């Protein structure tokens, strides 16, 4: 059973708008939710995630659009397997978060991170803007990992905006 099936999450207003919070504790490496995608576009938008080199789509079910960013995420969004997976144990009441650059090469709406975690990266602009040493701390979606594996940020930035 996934979180979506059990409806064991709740949307709560927080400092950045709405967030998704666990209604019960969850173990690490658990499939939290199956995921589909709405219509895709060639450019990112506020609620999209990157699902291919030039393809961005909103994750479905709709509550996934309210998963907020953290530099110390407790979720991984696997765009190929179409699953949201817990990275570590999650306690009842914890906000469910993922690392936005793990699913976006370049973000349409960059922002200053307010997670206040030890390894906060500050300005969230997408994976293209982060040093390799920072990205290596995170589990990246296959799309972003493949883009990163080309080895040249400049080349990837060029490819991402064509």
Residues 6+ apart with CB under 8 A from 62: none
pLDDT for position 147: 86
Distance between CA atoms of residues 97 and 113, nearest Å: 13
**Could you tell me if 58 and 65 are in contact, meaning their C-beta atoms sit under 8 angstroms apart?**
yes
The superfamily in CATH containing domain 3-161 is SET domain (2.170.270.10)
pLDDT for position 115: 86
Residues in the chain with pLDDT < 70? 1-7, 150-162
Distances (CA, A) of 155 to 86, 117, 124, 137, 144: 32, 31, 20, 22, 14
**Could you tell me if 100 and 68 are in contact, meaning their C-beta atoms sit under 8 angstroms apart?**
no
Locate tokens 């291919």: which residue? 52
pLDDT for position 152: 42
Characterize the bridge pairing of strands 83-86 and 31-34. Answer: antiparallel
pLDDT for position 151: 57
- Cα 26 from chain centre: 18
Tokens of 56: 């961005």
Residue-range domain boundaries for the chain? 3-161
pLDDT for position 23: 94
């Amino acid at each position: 059973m996934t979180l979506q099936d059990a409806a064991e999450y709740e949307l709560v207003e927080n400092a950045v708008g709405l967030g998704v919070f666990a209604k019960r504790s969850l173990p690490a490496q658990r499939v939290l939710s199956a995921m589909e995608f709405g219509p895709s576009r060639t450019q990112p938008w506020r609620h999209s995630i990157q699902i291919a080199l030039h393809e961005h789509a909103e994750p479905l079910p709709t509550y996934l659009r309210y998963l907020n960013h953290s530099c110390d995420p407790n979720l991984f969004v696997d765009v190929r397997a179409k699953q949201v997976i817990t990275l570590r144990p999650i306690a009842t009441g914890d906000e469910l978060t993922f690392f936005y650059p793990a699913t976006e090469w370049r973000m349409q709406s960059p922002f200053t991170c307010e997670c206040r975690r030890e390894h906060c990266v500050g300005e969230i602009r997408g994976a293209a803007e982060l040093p390799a040493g920072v990205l290596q701390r995170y589990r990246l979606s296959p799309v972003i990992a493949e883009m990163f594996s080309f080895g040249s940020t400049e080349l990837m930035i060029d490819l991402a905006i064509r």
